[in-house]
Amino acid sequence: MEHLTATWPWYISGFLIGMIMLCLTYFGKVFGMSSNLRTLCTIAGADKFADFFKFDWKAQTWSLIVVLGAMIGGFVAIHFMSDASNVTLNPDTVVQLSSLNIDAPEGKIAPDALFGNEVFQSPKMILILIIGGILIGFGSRYAGGCTSGHAISGLSNLQFPSLKAVIGFFVGGLIMVHFLMPLIF
């Protein structure tokens, strides 16, 4: 049980991701999470209003099972297998967080000020979540996929557009953390 609760080394996690990608490629499938939003919208009837949603969603039911598995796996991991005591933040990160009045997580993986239930008590944080969600949805649609689809599936299939998207995601993250986050918080 200790092997399940401990942080896995990169070479085990990376190997498992690689094996999953080989299986998906063998079966002619493409991995990505944002494509499931399109599938869910089509199931809900969006195909009656926009041609983008007109496709055979039944062929994508396997990916909905992946989303369900990710949700169940996340719940099990956080409630039954989580041991954040072996996760340490870089001291520079702790200093930067404290300069933004965000306490470093103690015995947790992420700060409560950003990821805890207390964010729903502040209208400012709710507005940030709504605007951030819209921007993420727009960005994943504009880039033709999300970070997991491009970084895991696209790069492993040597797709140049995925390389450009991943570079864009990385640069956008740097801009957010170093320039926009201090303005917001």
Structure confidence at residue 5 (pLDDT): 67
Amino acid identity, position 173 = G
Mean pLDDT (the chain) is 86
pLDDT greater than 80 at residue 19: yes
* Unique residue bearing structure tokens 């605007």: 131
Whole-model pTM: value is: 0.74
**Amino acid 162: pLDDT:** 92
Q: Where are the domains of the chain?
A: 1-82
Q: What is the pLDDT of residue 17?
A: 87
> What are 124-164's pLDDT values in tens digits?
999 999 999 999 888 888 888 888 889 888 888 889 999 99
Is residue 15 pLDDT above 90, yes or no? Answer: yes
Residues 6 or more apart whose CB falls under 8 angstroms from that of 85 comprise 107
- 172-179 long-range contacts (CB < 8 A, ≥24 apart) are 172/139
Which pairs from 151-154 meet CB under 8 Å and 24+ separation?
152/17, 152/21, 152/31, 153/21, 153/24, 153/30, 153/31, 153/32
What pLDDT does residue 1 have? 65
Q: Give the amino acid at 148.
A: S
The whole-angstrom separation of Cα 82 and Cα 105 is 14
Per the listing, tokens 């209208």 go with: 123
Q: Helix, strand, or coil here: 55?
A: coil
* pLDDT in the model for residue 45: 92
pLDDT over 80 at 21, yes or no: yes
Q: Give CA–CA dist 136/30, Å, rounded.
A: 20
Q: Are 53 and 47 in contact (CB under 8 A)?
A: yes
Q: At what angle do helices 35-43 and 61-80 cross, to 10 degrees?
A: 110
pLDDT at 106 over 80: no
Q: Does residue 49 contact residue 63 with C-beta atoms inside 8 Å?
A: no
